[in-house]
Amino acid sequence: MRTPSLSLLHVLSLAGLLEAHAGHQVRGTGLNTRKIDTHAHIYPPFYRDEVIAAGHVNGPDGSGAPMNWTIEDNFAFMEEYNVEKQYLCVAGPGTFLRPNNTEAGVNLTRRVNNYLSDLKHQYPDRIGFFASLPLPSIPDALEEIDRAIDDLGADGFVFLSNYFGLYHGDPRLGPVYEKLNQRKALIFIHPAVPCPVNAPTDVSGVQRMPYIAPMANAYPVPMFEYIFDTTRTLLDIILTGTAQRHPNLKWIIPHCGSALTGAIDRVLEVSGRVGVSATTDRQFFPNNLANLTQLFERQFWFDIAGFSMANQIHAMVRLLKPNKFVYGSDVPLSPAPPSAFKEDMDETLPTLFSDKEIEGIFRGNALGLLPGN
């Protein structure tokens, strides 16, 4: 029996399918490139004990952090997901755990930074770190900046989104920004519990959660308070011209800009019409979308940690070029397993970026931002 011959049309169709399949495979292997992780955390026993003693019984800001963390946990993640280097820091509630005890805050800050420095020196090719500062104590923060850079080898600094109501556009932070600007420093912002300055305190001086985050008894703080507070402090930086006055500073904003894209149009329009409250001592810096995107291009990067693939990143690409995104895992505090985020990234990133741009997001953009790699 004669074997049927394939028509030219069938041959071309088959070739097209094979080419498309091969292209898909290439894109997939691009997603398995080496990574530099700019958003990862530590939770050593001495820090865990201090956090619990300060009343954070469910882990940092109620996130349920692992109670028996070791650096080997991070290394296991790095091995499985092809991460060549992590930049580590503590998350919320940070190192200044009691607002009425500066000495304890300074001591814990120094101990955490020493611990991170030891890790970096022990594993210089695998670990970098962002030092904490004992804010809101400005004099102690200024001293720790020099120590962290000159003595400990810090690669940058982690700033919580607020320190007992001290948000990032507050003029009281001016001396800190001036020194960091002189040192050409990098600031990584990490969210914390929102903290209005008028929230009441209990007998120990700790602000009472129901007055700070009214629905915290119903929803874990990291669910949405985190992204709101990150956005609040980023907008404070923008509206006060804090970044423009300190052009040597660079920022990494977590969780793909948090709620920025949902807020920015309204904030720019309303602020342009009414400015800021007459009772504030903050300076007001007029912005529009054009100069804001230029500012982001000069001084801001945005990590893709968290649940950012379904919607957030699609909006952020309208504001940012591909070279402004960096990889972040949020290990070990992420509420979902790393495999879930990898699947989301594998599915979404190729629809928005080229292979070269994806490699930049995972590694190359961080190399330019953190040249010590």
- 143 CB-near residues (< 8 Å, 6+ apart): none
**Could you give the percent of the chain with pLDDT greater than 70?**
82
- Phi and psi torsions of 254, nearest 5°: -80, 165
Per-residue pLDDT band for 371 (boundaries 50, 70, 90) equals confident
d(CA 54, CA 48): 10
- Phi and psi torsions of 26, nearest 5°: -60, -45
Q: Rounded mean pLDDT of the chain? A: 85
Of residues 366 and 56, the one with the higher pLDDT is 366
324: nearest Cα among 334, 314, 316: 316
Task: Write down the pLDDT at residue 2.
Answer: 43
Type of residue found at 57:
V
Q: In 308-338, which positions are buried (b, 16+ CB within 10 angstroms) versus exposed (e)? A: bbeebbebbeebbebebbbbbbbbbbbeeeb
d(CA 296, CA 40): 23
d(CA 201, CA 129): 33
* Mean pLDDT confidence for 53-75: 75
Task: Say if residue 93 is preceded by a cis peptide, omega within 30 of 0.
Answer: yes
Per-residue pLDDT band for 16 (boundaries 50, 70, 90) equals very low
Whether residue 69 is predicted with pLDDT greater than 70 in this model: the reply is yes
Q: Are 240 and 282 in contact (CB under 8 A)?
A: yes
* Mean pLDDT confidence for 128-134: 99
Express each pLDDT in 313-323 by its tens digit.
999 999 999 99
* Helix H or strand E encompassing 130: strand 127-131
Q: Which of 27-41, 87-101, 131-145, 258-272 has the highest mean pLDDT?
A: 131-145
Q: What is the pTM of this model?
A: 0.87
Of residues 269 and 324, the one with the higher pLDDT is 324
Count other Cβ atoms within 10 Å, centred on residue 62: 21
Whether residue 126 is predicted with pLDDT greater than 90 in this model: the reply is yes
164: nearest Cα among 186, 141, 197: 197
Cα-based distances in Å from 113 to 117, 120, 174: 6, 10, 23
Task: Write down the pLDDT at residue 168.
Answer: 95
d(CA 181, CA 207): 32
Count other Cβ atoms within 10 Å, centred on residue 280: 13
Structure tokens at 194: 């929102």
d(CA 367, CA 84): 12
Task: Write down the pLDDT at residue 195.
Answer: 66
Per-residue pLDDT band for 11 (boundaries 50, 70, 90) equals very low
Task: Write down the pLDDT at residue 21.
Answer: 39
Q: Provide the strand spans (E) within 266-319.
A: 300-303
Per-residue pLDDT band for 276 (boundaries 50, 70, 90) equals confident
Of residues 341 and 241, the one with the higher pLDDT is 241
Whether residue 10 is predicted with pLDDT greater than 70 in this model: the reply is no
Per-residue pLDDT band for 270 (boundaries 50, 70, 90) equals confident
What residues pair up with 157 in beta bridges, in sequence order?
131, 187
Q: Are 82 and 150 in contact (CB under 8 A)?
A: no
* Mean pLDDT confidence for 48-67: 71
Cα-based distances in Å from 89 to 38, 43, 178, 257, 326: 10, 9, 22, 19, 16
User: Hey, what domains does the chain have and what are their CATH numbers?
Assistant: 35-369 (3.20.20.140)
**Could you give the percent of the chain with pLDDT greater than 90?**
61
Please provide the distance, in angstroms rounded to a whole number, between the alpha carbons at the two ends of the chain: 66
Task: Write down the pLDDT at residue 196.
Answer: 54
* Mean pLDDT confidence for 206-213: 57
* Mean pLDDT confidence for 10-32: 43
